[in-house]
Structure 1
Amino acid sequence: MHVNIVGAGIIGLATAFELSSRGHTVCIIDPSPGQGASHAAAGMLAPAAETVWGQGPLHQMLAASNKSYPDFVNRIQAISGQRPDYLTSSTLVVAAEPADREALHELVELQTSLGLSAQKLLPSQARNLEPALARNIAGAVLCEDDHQIDPRSVVRILLEYFQSDLVLEQCVEVIKDDKNQTTAVLTSSGTRLEAEQTILCTALGTVRGVQPAPVRPVYGDILRIQGPPGPALVTRIIRGIVHRENVYLVPRKDGSLVLGASVREDGNPQVNVGAMYNLLDNARRLVPGISDCSLNEVIARARPATADDRPLIGRIDPGLVISTGYSRHGVLLSPLGSTLTADLTEHLPASAMLKDVDPYRFPTYSSDTLLEQSS
């Protein structure tokens, strides 16, 4: 089977990898591969540390995808000869003040009820693990099974592997036959690319002939800083709560750190100076040594968020599947999302999880509207 995949972020590329592994051919269409949210993402694989109240089925999805990550990484290495930067160092969630500690400890009850690893630590125990932590932190929780991957390494490896299958153009329209089944896509140059199946992994992008997905842009500002020469400033992911605001530091193998991330819905795609200052101030409250780091990069990207934070994975017509709306969980959910999407594309029996990511769970996204648009 030949499949068009529109969008070359980590979701589109992971889906191409999954389908290719199953013996299918792919054409990946994107004018700027890997330059969207995947380029900014820190790559925390943190089902425990990311746990928040009221997310229901999402908890199980995050945990299931996290468990499949070692196999996902090994399979990429096996076909490409290159190993993504996957680190199994744990995550330390740190509270700056007593009120932050209370919020942190309230979550531990939920985390453990979900079968996730979360161990309360005294400030002294946390500093024994990470000596660079501030002496006046109020407490911490150790999440042993929360790891990290550098999304840029995954995207780079898969783009190299699929280099001959890339079309560096914008997909502007899906083409349907008289039975309302997608049979091809049209690119910005007017090229018609036919396929038995088409998958839209377009994040916030829209394509003529398909109802826009019920997603909204949530912007995040992210900094990349370089640690001073010598031993690494921190060896684990440090996630912090400072005055009830979240901040994180993700150490990379080269001694750099990813510092993020703001959450903005102001429609501004540019870096926000106030948000950047706030991130630095909160991170310095937890790890004072970042004042000695140098600045490598500041970047802002929009995440495609849904109202319930769960992605949109579903069949739109007999030849068209959608896989988008991963909010801030796109990297973590890549193995699971690509598997579910590939199963749908192959018309395999539906996983029970698909009902939780069905695009039609939102009333504004209906098959009636799709039919009206195509008529």
Structure 2
Amino acid sequence: MNPAGRTDTVGGARRTLAVVGGGIIGLTCALAAADAGWQVKVVDAGRNRCAAWVAGGMLGSLGEGRPGEDALFAISERSARLWPAFIERLGDPRIATAADSLFVATTTADAAYLTQLADFVWSTHPHAVDRLSRIDAAGVRVRERAIGARVRGGYLARGEGAVDNRRLIAALESALVAAGGRITRREVAHLADLDDADQILLAAGAGLADLWPAAPVHLAKGEVLRLRADRMTVPPPRHVIRARVDGRMVYLVPRHDGIVVGATQYEGDMDEWRSGLATPQAGGVAELLADAIEVFPGARDYALVEVAAGFRPCSADGVPLVERLDERIVVAGGHGRNGIILAPYTSEMFMQLLTDDGVLVGVGVERNVT
């Protein structure tokens, strides 16, 4: 993460960076800075404010190929290529939980929806043909024998894997501390609290707007379920399963001991986020369970060990905000549903915004990437 091996110092003293937010984005950027020689401290409000703690951990770029989101698709592809080296840097191969994804449908209309997305990816990104291929129901069952009877085929996305988000957070924290960084659990109400830092990174997730009122982001709320397998149940799937079920999307993301289920999304309320008590909605939870069992019937026998809700900060076009606000403050936020896959790319963009004298060397994430 520091190919140049540069050490950032002024007059022989290491420069200091304060990172507001200890989620995936904040920790990844903090580690990159520590690897580059910065003295880093992360100030984090806690797990109940962390979007990455309530996540599936999918590393999907082909799966994000939608009309109007060309720039997001391009940077997702670029970031996906950085993930193998990123996992190697963290030194824990068990962070990865799946290597490929299956996109499957249960009705004719669902199949047509997936075909529309695949046709868009193929038409706009011809190189994706080798990675995204059509697969019939029999082909799905060869790869996942416990798949539901209603599944009628779909697409195989090679290289679209997943990671254990919570194991990833733990690995990032350990790596940062080993690199000389510090992590403090407290809220930052005002940036004046960080006057001792040479540079500040705002990576506060949903809390970005409290520190930067003009932030062009909105909140999205969603639920995630955690289901645990045991020796008497069907083993978890080997692939990420992203299914369209009667017009609704549901994803099943493997873990070594079960699956994570998600895909609900609503408009988020800032006051609820500030309370630290995100409340799941009964209807969303019911749909997730029903759709997950429809796609993977063996999940019926799994233990439902967690029902959680979280908030994601989203930019208007899906492309994250990675830019300098002034000579001292950089922002990285608005990643929406793509914070995990975009973490390595975001850290590279962030490091391009830092120089020895703190001046701007880039304007942030490009919104027209070729």
TM-score (norm 1): 0.84
Q: 1:106 aligns with which of 78, 94, 116?
A: 116
Q: Deviations over 1:45-101 (max 9, x none)?
A: 011123222102111100100011000111122xxxx44511452100110111111
Is the partner of 1:259 in helix, strand or coil? strand
Q: 1:241 aligns with which of 221, 239, 244?
A: 244
Displacement over 4 Å in runs of 4+ = 206-209
Quick one: which amino acid aligns to residue 222 of structure 2? G
Q: What is the number of equivalent residue pairs in this alignment?
A: 337
The residue that corresponds to 1:320 in the other structure is 329
The residue that corresponds to 2:201 in the other structure is 199
The residue that corresponds to 1:173 in the other structure is 190
Is the partner of 1:354 in helix, strand or coil? coil
User: Following TM superposition, by how much is the alpha carbon of 1:348 offset from its aligned partner in structure 2, in angstroms?
Assistant: 7.0
Quick one: which amino acid aligns to residue 116 of structure 2? E
Indicate the larger mover: 261-270 or 291-300.
261-270
Alignment RMSD: 2.2
Indicate the larger mover: 261-270 or 20-29.
261-270
Is the partner of 1:205 in helix, strand or coil? helix
The residue that corresponds to 2:152 in the other structure is 138
The residue that corresponds to 1:331 in the other structure is 340
The residue that corresponds to 1:218 in the other structure is 220
Quick one: which amino acid aligns to residue 127 of structure 1? R
The residue that corresponds to 2:62 in the other structure is 48
The residue that corresponds to 2:22 in the other structure is 8
The 1:324–1:129 alpha-carbon spacing in structure 2 relative to 1, beyond 3 Å, is: same
Provide the rounded CA distance (Å) in 2 between the counterparts of 1:109 and 1:236.
22
Answering whether residue 319 of structure 2 is matched by residue 307 of structure 1, we say no
The residue that corresponds to 1:179 in the other structure is none
The 1:93–1:206 alpha-carbon spacing in structure 2 relative to 1, beyond 3 Å, is: closer
Identity percentage of aligned residues = 27
Aligned partners of 1:9 and 1:34 also within 8 Å: no
User: Following TM superposition, by how much is the alpha carbon of 1:172 offset from its aligned partner in structure 2, in angstroms?
Assistant: 1.7
Quick one: which amino acid aligns to residue 225 of structure 1? L
Q: Deviations over 1:248-307 (max 9, x none)?
A: 1011122x1001121111536301111000111111221122111111111000000111
Q: 1:128 aligns with which of 129, 142, 148?
A: 142
Quick one: which amino acid aligns to residue 337 of structure 1? T
Q: Which runs of 5+ in 1 are unaligned?
A: 175-184, 187-191, 358-375
Answering whether residue 100 of structure 2 is matched by residue 86 of structure 1, we say no
Q: Which runs of 5+ in 2 are unaligned?
A: 1-14, 273-277
Q: 2:132 aligns with which of 118, 124, 132?
A: 118
The 1:295–1:210 alpha-carbon spacing in structure 2 relative to 1, beyond 3 Å, is: closer
Provide the rounded CA distance (Å) in 2 between the counterparts of 1:34 and 1:48.
30
Provide the rounded CA distance (Å) in 2 between the counterparts of 1:26 and 1:127.
48
Aligned partners of 1:43 and 1:331 also within 8 Å: yes
Provide the rounded CA distance (Å) in 2 between the counterparts of 1:9 and 1:34.
11
Quick one: which amino acid aligns to residue 232 of structure 1? P
Is the partner of 1:220 in helix, strand or coil? strand
Quick one: which amino acid aligns to residue 173 of structure 1? H
Indicate the larger mover: 306-315 or 26-35.
26-35
Answering whether residue 77 of structure 2 is matched by residue 75 of structure 1, we say no
